[in-house]
A = this chain, B = another copy of it.
Amino acid sequence: MVALNTVSDPLVLALREFAPLAPHMETHLDAAITQAVSEPGKLVRARLALEAGLANGLDDGEAMQLACAIEYFHTASLLLDDMPCMDDAATRRGLPCVHRRHGDATAILAALALINRAYTLAGFAFAAQSPGVRVQAIACLDACLGPSGLVGGQAADLRYGETRGGARAVAKIAAAKTGALFWSAVFLPALASQPTEAERRELKRLCVYWGLAFQALDDLADVLKSHAEAGKSTGRDSALSRPNLALVLGVHGARAGVDRLAALAGAAADRLATHGARWSYLRRFHVEYFAPMHRRTLAATEMLVAA
């Protein structure tokens, strides 16, 4: 796989090229969207969607459109999550948050512009598919982003302090909030090759494991990393009564949980590889992206636990 986040990375270039900018648009909105698409994070979901699209028969352009759609949905969710009425974050990816620079209204409108463009790109990516595939793709996005997915998970996340709950409740929120975008990154492109029921079940398992593991790593980072190291406002989950696996399980428990989830995800990816070559990218992704991230975060938390 090619290196990420370099100026020549086709995905990074495409994220700028497809950005919802227009001539003579209001300058704060322009600046907000430009910042949001020019400072990409790890692009995990987008890279996954790109690989998935190519593996499942989309052409290069369609796979790239779909990857950018998934990344725009993710970026929009971050713009909104950072707002004062949600996580009230000050920085993101080493820069002041969009709402701190351009105001809350501009952050909302930038998120809406990204979401609108994301639906457009997803629609274009599937334009050549059969009616049956397209209807499934529309239903998949509806489920991933709606009240049973990202939006519902975020709503439960924000009200967690009113109900509390143990690891099970926290995991359920993480599955909706973080798992849903992994699910859309993997399952939406997979629809183009019409997976069997058994394959769909394995894909779902894998995405749930990855989603929970990513959220647990993020939760560990929130608890343990300092503001400067994380590049975004941290230590906030406790202050804001947000669900956090490292808070409900303890740091050692959360670390053990991530190890277990990583093993389960690896096993699911292995099983999928036996179903056909088009699923081998999942195993590769797990080894080349997930495992190093897992190791890095655990190492970082280990140092901090020891300190």
Contacts and interface: CB of A to CB of B under 8 A. Distances in A.
Interface of A: 20-22, 25-30, 33, 80, 83, 85-86, 103-106, 108-109, 112-113, 115-117, 119-120, 123-124, 127-128, 131, 134-135, 138-139, 141-142, 145-148, 151-152, 154-156, 158-159
Contact of A108 (B85, B117, B142): B85
A84 B154 CA distance: 21
Contact of A123 (B30, B80, B123): B123
A119 B141 contact: yes
7 contacts: A20-B146, A25-B148, A26-B152, A106-B158, A108-B108, A119-B138, A128-B131
A119 B119 contact: yes
Given A85-B108, A124-B135, A127-B135, 8 more contacts: A27-B159, A29-B147, A29-B155, A33-B147, A80-B108, A106-B155, A116-B151, A117-B146
A103 B85 contact: yes
Residue from A26, A112, A147 having most chain B Cβ neighbours under 10 A: A147
Nearest to A145: B116
Q: How many copies of the chain does the oligomer comprise?
A: 2
Residue of A109, A128, A131 contacting most chain B CB atoms (<10 Å): A109
B29 A152 contact: yes
Contacts of A147: 20-22, 25, 29-30, 33, 113
Contacts of A158: 105-106
A146 B80 contact: no
